[in-house]
Structure 1
Amino acid sequence: MDFHGLRIAVTGAGRDTGRLLALAFAERGARVFVTARDAGAAAGTAELIRQRGRGMAEAFGCDLADPDSVRGFAAALAERTGHLDVLVNNGAGYLTGEGLPDADDADIVATIAGAATGTVLLTKHLLPLLRSSARPDIVNLVSACGEVGHRRSGAHPAFYAAKHAQAGFAEILSYRLRTEGIRVLSLFPPDFVQDGPRESDADLTAASVVDCVLFAVGQPRDCFIREFRFEQVRPDGS
């Protein structure tokens, strides 16, 4: 799959799945705009891309829980490119704890602001660049925690709340932007592992999630894939 020349922004790309996404797009020829709350982590991903010699990368600090930081990144990106082909809304802080008292107020605010408000604001401020693309895609790494009836994660209720908000935003955005030819794709993976055997009786891996994103973005423009839903390995392994 060749993404040569595409301009792609990936949030939360300083480590883990976001870094894998940025590397995968770059290896296929894309120019990747890498963001992370920690600007140094974003720079580390960009340096890895440069070392591999495929694609191009620029690093930016962007705290999705801070509206000023979101606007600053959007403005900086607009200075570097006249269009954006793909926005990957991956950045979101995971919060553990089954009980409400298991997280303090600041962590709850940051979790909801980063995944929900941050996704909305960043998409809003980058929409002009996406509208200037000949093949715009918006990809949202939501979570099975955003599915109605999903109760199998050990995430904090605030994370569930943030992901339900993100899922609702993605759904209405897909409907309203469809007429403009802007594809909005959402993935709802269960809690997954960064590394592991990619086998039917094992946990979902980050590499498989990345492959789903690459597949969807690479489809012809008449193919609007709205969602990826995943089966989850049962506790008994069945």
Structure 2
Amino acid sequence: MLGWGVRVQALFDLAGKTALVTGGGRGIGRHLAIGLAEAGADVFLASRKPGPCEETASFIRERTGRRAVALQADVSQPDQARALVDSVLAQTPRLEILVNNAGTTWAAPTLDYPVAGWDRVFDLNVRGLFLVSQRVARHMRDHGGGSIIHIGSISAFRGAREEDQPVVAYHASKGAVLTLTKDLAVKLAPHRIRVNAIAPGPFLTDMMNHIRHDPEKLRAYEASVPVGRCGGEDDIKGAVVFLASDAAAFVTGHTLVVDGGISACG
């Protein structure tokens, strides 16, 4: 039994690997980066605002002893997306793990939704994700493969009432991310590159400020979640470590739902 247990633990070990996490300074991105480092990976974190990434990188170094480097980049801008990957590859010989977490939303009534809002959401959530993936995948192709993980949302699976979530571009963009995940998984499989997605449900990030700062709304929302609460740091760490590790060597094109059972309700 001891040998079996040690072998299973080794499957999840990320020691000796390097990860890039976009949108890695705050919220879910911060949890993802910390989880990868706790599993043994060195981590590069990127976001538009350098402050949160610097703080998270410092926290990772102190907590885990792993290398953690903060970089500034707006991956919605093609030049910056390419420059980010080039900067990482100039500082490490291998990049085995990419987590595309950078994302944004824009709230507006659907029938008056502005083109500027639509473009802003898709430029970051879809185009930026693809451009970073494309450039990293070229490196992975030439260095034995790797794991690409996209952060989607359960918003991709269903619509929402206007009064609850007037963010039509966000929902559409996350649907695009999950379809892109499947297509890239098939196209990159010959290069030993796995592509998967995580679809989080309710985590108390900045995007849920309208709920988390209102105790009455928060209680009502958590009551609608089958497990009776919103997600926490440890709930998302395990998912990303699994998909990044050899434990998921035969998993590609999959979306792992982490939502406390919401999507099971239909």
| Pairwise TM-score range, normalised by the shorter structure | 0.7 to 0.9
Per the alignment, residue 2 of structure 1 pairs with 13
Q: Alignment partner for residue 180 of structure 1, among 183, 186, 191?
A: 191
- The alpha-carbon deviation at position 155 of structure 1 amounts to 5.1
Maintained 8 Å contact 1:28/1:54? no
- The alpha-carbon deviation at position 188 of structure 1 amounts to 1.9
Change (3 A) 1:100 1:91: farther
TM-score w.r.t. length of structure 1: 0.86
Q: Deviations over 1:13-46 (max 9, x none)?
A: 1111111111111122211011011122222211
Per the alignment, residue 123 of structure 2 pairs with 113
Matched, 1:201 2:201: no
**2:30 and 2:244 mapped to 1: Cα distance?**
17
Q: Alignment partner for residue 139 of structure 1, among 131, 141, 149?
A: 149
Structure 1: any 5+ residue segments left out of the alignment? none
Maintained 8 Å contact 2:39/2:241? no
Q: Deviations over 1:114-162 (max 9, x none)?
A: 0000011111111122224445000011111223x44377250011121
Maintained 8 Å contact 1:137/1:184? yes
Per the alignment, residue 56 of structure 2 pairs with 45
Per the alignment, residue 224 of structure 1 pairs with 251
Maintained 8 Å contact 2:36/2:240? no
AA matched with 1:56:
R
**1:151 and 1:93 mapped to 2: Cα distance?**
17
**2:91 and 2:58 mapped to 1: Cα distance?**
18
AA matched with 1:107:
G
Per the alignment, residue 211 of structure 1 pairs with 238
**2:174 and 2:100 mapped to 1: Cα distance?**
12
- The alpha-carbon deviation at position 83 of structure 1 amounts to 2.2
Q: Alignment partner for residue 21 of structure 1, among 21, 32, 36?
A: 32
Question: Which of 1 and 2 has greater Rg?
Answer: 2
Please give the secondary structure, in 1, of the residue aligned with 2:74.
Answer: coil
Change (3 A) 1:155 1:61: farther
Q: Which one has more relative contact order, counting CA pairs under 8 Å at least 6 apart?
A: 2
**1:211 and 1:232 mapped to 2: Cα distance?**
14
**2:241 and 2:111 mapped to 1: Cα distance?**
36
Q: Alignment partner for residue 91 of structure 1, among 94, 102, 108?
A: 102
**What percentage of residue pairs aligned between the two structures are identical?**
24
AA matched with 1:108:
W
Higher helix share: 2
